[in-house]
Amino acid sequence: MPRIKRGVTTRAKHKRLLDQAKGYRGRRKNTIRIARQAVEKAGQYAYRDRKVKKRNFRALWIQRINAAVRAEGLTYSQFMHGVKLAGIELDRKVMADLAMNEEAAFKAIIAQAKDALPA
C-alpha cells in the first residue's frame, strides 16, 4: 500500500486558521497552536454574543418606549397593558422607532392604550 502524505491538507488547514486569526496581537496571529486557541475562543464569544445582542436591543427598545410614555403620564407596564387590551399588535422594535422618529403617531398609540385601560 502506498504511503499517504498529508502536507498539502495540513498546510491548507493551517493557512485557513491563520487567516481567521488575522489582526490578532502577538503570537496569536502566527503560531498555529496559539492561533487555534484564540480562534476557538473568538468563536465561542461570537456565538454567545449573538444571543446577548438580541437581549441588549430589546432592553434599549424598552428604555426608549418607557421614556416616551412617561412624558405622557404613564409607566411602561401600564402602557404595555393598555396596548394589549387595545389589540395593538406592534412589536417593541417598531414602537421604539415610532417613539423616536414619529412622535405624533406614537402619541396616537398612547391615547388608544390609555382609553383601553380600565378606569
The CATH number of the domain holding residue 102 is: 1.10.1900.20
Residue 35 lies in a domain: yes
Chain-centroid distance, C-alpha 98: 19
Q: How many CB atoms lie within 10 A of CB 112?
A: 15
Query: What spatial distance separates the first Cα and last Cα of the chain, rounded to whole Å?
Result: 88
What residue numbers bound the domain in which 75 lies?
A: 6-116
Averaged pLDDT of the chain:
96
- The arithmetic mean of pLDDT across residues 64-83, rounded, is 96
For residue range 21-65, what is the model confidence (pLDDT) as tens digits?
A: 999 999 999 999 999 999 999 999 999 999 999 999 999 999 999
pLDDT at 119: 72
Provide the domain count of the chain.
1
Q: What is the pTM of this model?
A: 0.81
Read off the DSSP letter of residue 27: G
pLDDT at 68: 97
Residue 46 lies in a domain: yes
